[in-house]
Chains A and B, each alone.
Chain A
Amino acid sequence: MKRFEREGQHRVDVTLNGERAGAHCEPRMLLSDFLRQQLGATGVHVGCEHGVCGACTVRIDGVAQRSCLTLAVAADGRTIDTVEGLAPAGQELSDLQQAFRRHHALQCGFCTPGILMSAAEFLERVPHPDEAQVRDLLSGHLCRCTGYTNIVRAILDVARARGAERA
């Protein structure tokens, strides 16, 4: 058992995009705010803050989840991946990000980091998805610019290219 008093500042340590990171926060701080404000991972976007829009989606221990519906103190000791970790520092964008650019799968870009993190996990689990599966994945994200069509194309394109590479 571990108690965190409401007014106290409590140490939370995580592995963020492969590196150790930590800071202090109150128990009520959301993981989304902790990542942005305490650890500087501003690629985590904050939209609705009740789990509907998907903009804040990150991977916790590899699994895509809403960081706005997770407390920072509950994520202590976990491994967290955000969009900042998709392309290694100073290097090219990942194949998924390149496909998004190639297919015009973003316009304003607000929803994009969350979608990329969901898609990254999804493609590891479902390497050969059909369009219906990709659209099901996207049902957990709101995009008001693209109409989703180009996002679907980009994700299917990455799946095909990775399949061809493996073959």
Chain B
Amino acid sequence: MKPAAFDYIRADSADEAVALLAEYGDDARVLAGGQSLMAVLNMRLAQPKALIDIHRASDLNRIEDDGALRVRAAATQAALMRYAGLEHKAPLLAQALPHLGHFQTRNRGTVCGSVAHADPSAELPLCLATLDGEVVLRSKRGRRSLKARMFFTGMLQTAREPDELIEEVRFPRLSTGERQGFVEVSMRHGDFAIVALAAVVSREAVRLGVGGVADRPTVAHWPRLEGAALDDALNQLAWELGAQDDHHASAVYRRHLVRTLGRQLISRLLREQDA
């Protein structure tokens, strides 16, 4: 349970990190908070030749609001949780973050790191996908921005190229008239979700993101549905996700959670909106 040997390089800026990634490419992993990566290294599930540590790069340790919430690569989950006005700007994030690990891991874990790790049960990739957010990737070749649905490509898999740094993620802010909600079931508080649901309800439409079931966060787009029509849509979604049995929960239970929690969450948001 100790990592294999690696060179450790501390990048003090985004420029340095990008230059190092151009040099090392696939041989290096970016270390930010390490709350996913260090566990992977300790278990020797990865044995990179080099670690590029960006946690002291001050130009990456920022959260900015320019219409979207832009969380840069070294900003911690705790910093986002404390971000002034988060419950008004992105209520989905304010509701989801307390479920993300424990305060001891949020103190160090980064938002971009969780997105980079792309665990299918993780809360932040689910929120990013449900809010239709973006991931900004930067390399020496330039910058590109990918929608979450293009970025997450499978279990622990993303569209990031080996020389690219996830420079920031962008969460769109709450629109007028929208309601957002989050709910999850896990073995104990702070564990990865067995099923996590994120919903955005507007005057015309309902979006439901599901984590923990498919190999990546999956978002359904529906018109405003209620009653039997909502139940039918949820049932169809639950089957489409291709739930698997594992040692945490059965596929049957996961489908049950998608149907039941989905109905509770969306009904609550519709009621709140009408009130």
| Set of chain B residues within 8 Å of A50, measured between Cβ atoms | 1, 38-39, 42-43
Annotate A1-38 by CB proximity to B: 1 below 8 A, 0 otherwise: 11111110000000000000000001110100100000
* B6 beta carbon closer than 8 Å to chain A: yes
Give min CB distance, B256 to chain A, whole Å.
Answer: 25
| Set of chain B residues within 8 Å of A71, measured between Cβ atoms | 8, 31, 34, 38, 51, 53
Residue contact A68 to B189, C-beta cutoff 8 Å: no
* B175 beta carbon closer than 8 Å to chain A: no
| Set of chain A residues within 8 Å of B3, measured between Cβ atoms | 28, 30
Query: Which one of A1, A122, A136 contacts B10 once the chains associate, using CB atoms below 8 Å?
Result: A1
Query: Which one of B9, B38, B98, B188 contacts A3 once the chains associate, using CB atoms below 8 Å?
Result: B9
* B110 beta carbon closer than 8 Å to chain A: no
Q: Residues of B within 8 Å of A, CB-based: how many?
A: 36
Annotate A120-148 by CB proximity to B: 1 below 8 A, 0 otherwise: 00100000000000001101100000000
Which of B101-109, B145-153, B203-211, B220-228 forms contacts with chain A?
A: B101-109
* B274 beta carbon closer than 8 Å to chain A: no
Residue contact B5 to A27, C-beta cutoff 8 Å: yes
Query: Which one of B11, B35, B104, B108 contacts A118 once the chains associate, using CB atoms below 8 Å?
Result: B104
Which residues of A in the span 52-67 have a Cβ within 8 Å of any Cβ on B? 54, 57, 60, 63-66
* B248 beta carbon closer than 8 Å to chain A: no
Residue contact B12 to A1, C-beta cutoff 8 Å: yes
Give min CB distance, B11 to chain A, whole Å.
Answer: 6
* A157 beta carbon closer than 8 Å to chain B: no
* B16 beta carbon closer than 8 Å to chain A: yes
Which residues of B in the span 70-107 have a Cβ within 8 Å of any Cβ on A? 78, 98, 101-105, 107
Task: Tell me the complex Cα distance, A27–B51, Å.
Answer: 9
Query: Which one of A5, A28, A140 contacts B104 once the chains associate, using CB atoms below 8 Å?
Result: A140
| Set of chain A residues within 8 Å of B103, measured between Cβ atoms | 64, 118, 122, 136-137, 140
| Set of chain B residues within 8 Å of A2, measured between Cβ atoms | 9-10, 12
* A69 beta carbon closer than 8 Å to chain B: yes
| Interchain residue pairs A-B with the least CB separation, the first 3 | A140-B102, A27-B8, A50-B39
A interface residues (Cβ-Cβ under 8 A, vs B): 1-7, 26-28, 30, 33, 49-51, 54, 57, 60, 63-66, 68-71, 73-74, 118, 122, 136-137, 139-140
CB-defined A-B contacts under 8 Å, sample of 6: A4-B8, A49-B39, A49-B42, A73-B10, A122-B103, A140-B101
